Structure 1
């Protein structure tokens, strides 16, 4: 199933589904030529009398999704506000990609306490690699895709590979104790925690409920990011699933500034090492499992994910302050 997250004023350029005929194609063309003030918020064949009705006998995966243009509506309301001006992607540094006022204050405190050292590359873009594409072009996985990875690795959960049952129980007990102190779902849907905290530190908001088998959005985001990273057969350094997960979290955080209308939805996506492993298996990567339970991958150190986005724990001496 394709779930386009669009933040553009134009219609999605994805190919038309088989259930839509020439009438749909013509309707899309007519809507594309409309001025911004007349563009509808949602374009869907079920609500457009000019489109050919969908075939009830079409394949299950052939399900059209509405095209969102929330950011376009905001621009019409606020005009040419600086907040909605898209900067030149070639000049964006790691800081500009994930920067926010709340995160800036947090990093300033860590810097004052000598807990963090940020190099110049964090504030300047020295990479020629383009940014990863937005969620507009993301394709959702289904539960069957995740189940295939789980059947291949029965001891895989959302936190990675577990070596013993005791480890699983200890993890669940720890999460349960954390969950008793507050309601993670309430924090995720409120303004209690900043966006960077929820996305870069999801373990603090994890209640131990749910299963990897149902983490469709998290696995889909991981696949969308990893499929844009070339693999290498011979490399000097392998990256663990936990390391790659930190980069993907920064990528997810960067999307909040691109699609502010989807902020609440993106805050609900909690990424862990297990989602990276599922994505790598789905893409046919070589999954290297070592004796310590860590999983490593051979990907190019020059890919956009590793050069344009930040792995925040790399910059911390004593870890996150709490």
Structure 2
């Protein structure tokens, strides 16, 4: 029914505003509409087009309205800023394999197991999908196409990730990005495996092998969950962890005057732990583009920081364990451009007071 088709497209369009996996799911659904032989070819093509237009129009409308009302939408120009290299792709592949076996397992074993699982999963889903297409000629559809949608999601998602890494700089596909295709593939394989008829020796071996693999993977997940839960119980999670709450540098920052300005490479940690405002140190370039922010150049950011002590005392708090903000100025650059006085040196960082222009330490 076209009513349900439009409803599904609206839901997908809304989902695309919040979750990056939605466009890949929409592409998988649209492709499935094309191969569903319940309707004639023209109807199938029209359904896929209508589905895409409705869902895409919601996202495009949001971009346009956001640009009109707020002056920004995507936050930057839409261009190819990607800088993924072979090393980054290899690490991304490692994140995908981690869902089967942990990083402590030999890479060769992890790669072999991943290849075997991928081949078996592809074969299972393909066989199930061919049956679904054949059954659709007889108007028997129901849930038959669900494994096909879930399986196609993997390929559409990976294509979407290639596009994302082409237009986004410094984008590493960690376990967060590997989670959606893992979940969808497990669901697809489970449904296809349940419908597998063990009429041959090969199908019986395949069924037993996939069941054994699922037991190994679930056992691995259970062990890792227990270990990480105990570790989180002992040390805390994120900025609530002891690494931050008991940080010598954080404790030293707590003693800074309450009316002082604080700049840092970890202002979010300071705001969370100390419950006081803090600001980022200048950025040499934008993380998402790899180029300098044209609306707020590095020199302009430095100039504001240089003038800050003219109004009130200003301090810079540098944490050694903040290693992921490489796009912001490092200590050597700050010392070169600013007049700094060392206020505290701790095992995990340092605190500097920014001196007014013309004042030497």
Q: Same fold (TM over 0.5)?
A: no
Greater relative contact order, per chain length (Cα 8 Å cut-off, separation 6+): 1
Structure holding more helix per residue = 2
